Structure 1
Amino acid sequence: MSQEDLIIIKKQLGRGVSNVLNIEKRCIYGYPQVIKSFPLKDGKPFPTLYWLTCPYLVEEVSKLEAQQKITEIEKIIQNDPVLRQQMIHAHKEEIKKRMKLLGEKISSLSENMIKKLKQTGIGGIEDFSTIKCLHLHYASYLVGENNPVGEIVDRYIAKKCCDDSRCEKWVGCGAKGR
């Protein structure tokens, strides 16, 4: 990950991010699409492991949330025992990855912080039968995690990437030549 990547991520998100570990997925133009975050930020738990940064996909997923797709997908997951188990497994896998990333730093954390990081799932959610945000699940799915919510979101999004000119508008530097 380069300094240019960090500048692009800042432009994509509209703010700097201090706990980026790496870029997990790039778009067809080479820009960051999903980043991996360290589970602590400013000394506090940060349970979002995968973060969707692509402005185009963020916008597309936001449209789904505005269309009440969170409630719809929750019902799909709750009514399908296989998907429900897959969702619980996705949360537990993310917790394992989060704890592995913390490594030795875990010994310096308070009991409450450790509890939060060990017991909350994707995005810090406590109730694994509910969905907090589609963006987090989609980011998880895009990096290859077995995330049924992210997979459903992917089916809803017809066009998976922006055109070159929209990408350039969002990031402020030409997509061509990357």
Structure 2
Amino acid sequence: MPPLDEHGNDLARITPDDVAWVSRQLGRPARAAVEVAARCPCGCPAVVRTMPRLPGGTPFPTSFYATCPRLTGAISTLESEGVMARMSERLATDEEWAAAYRSAHEDYLRRRAELGEVPEIEGISAGGMPTRVKCLHVLVAHSLAVGPGVNLPGDEALAMLPRWWQDGCCEATEEGQR
């Protein structure tokens, strides 16, 4: 078993500094993180990959979790502008787009299974995949973690985002600048 901290973070794959950084970003301890799956251009963690089961046993289907506050804020703005509803409507009318979304769902499940099977969430990915668009945060996080061409709705939402990192480090703290 890999070395874990008290919150189930895999210290063989994620550094204690990254765990501390993500915890500051979230305003709570990072839990079950196994790696920084994507970084902002400023170098700060933007997305962590998490175990499919949290310490204590709770199933956690969100394998790719956006942590950067500026990124998550920008995604929330898209959600408030109705992007999810428009994408969900598109699922019903664009078979090619819907097929790409089903493929993203399968990719998400496959990548989560690499970290362990959790029968309670078998076949359930995240973000509403594959039948509706429920959470752009998950879709963008998946796209950032695995690169373009895997999660088309995530890629499209990512392309709509402003440059959240543009004004400097996306998470300066009182403890210091990165």
Please state whether the residue corresponding to 1:48 is helix, strand or coil. Answer: coil
* Alpha-carbon shift at residue 165 of structure 1 (Å): 5.7
* Alpha-carbon shift at residue 78 of structure 1 (Å): 2.8
Structure 1 unaligned segments of length 5 or more: list them.
107-112
What are the equivalent positions in structure 2 for 1:1-178 lying under 5 Å apart? 1-41=14-54, 42-102=56-116, 106=117, 114=119, 116-123=120-127, 125=128, 128-143=130-145, 144=147, 146-164=150-168, 167-169=171-173, 172-175=175-178
1:62 corresponds to which letter in structure 2?
A: S
Rounded to whole Å, the distance in 1 between the matches of 2:169 and 2:106 is 39
Structure 2 unaligned segments of length 5 or more: list them.
1-13
Structure 1, 45-54 or 72-81: larger mean CA deviation: 72-81
Give yes or no for contact 1:57–1:160 (8 Å, CA) kept in 2. Answer: yes
Distance change >3 Å, CA 166–CA 27, structure 1 → 2: closer
4+ residue stretches of structure 1 with deviation over 6 A? none
TM-score scaled by length of structure 1 = 0.82
Rounded to whole Å, the distance in 2 between the matches of 1:157 and 1:29 is 16
2:69 corresponds to which letter in structure 1?
A: P
CA RMSD of aligned residues (A): 1.9
TM-score scaled by length of structure 2 = 0.82
Other-structure match for 2:6? none
Rounded to whole Å, the distance in 2 between the matches of 1:38 and 1:7 is 18
More helix by share: 1
Identity %: 24
Rounded to whole Å, the distance in 2 between the matches of 1:87 and 1:172 is 41
The C-alpha deviation readout for 1:1-53, integer Å capped at 9, x for no partner, is 32121111011111112200000111122110110000001212111010111
Give yes or no for contact 2:164–2:170 (8 Å, CA) kept in 1. Answer: no
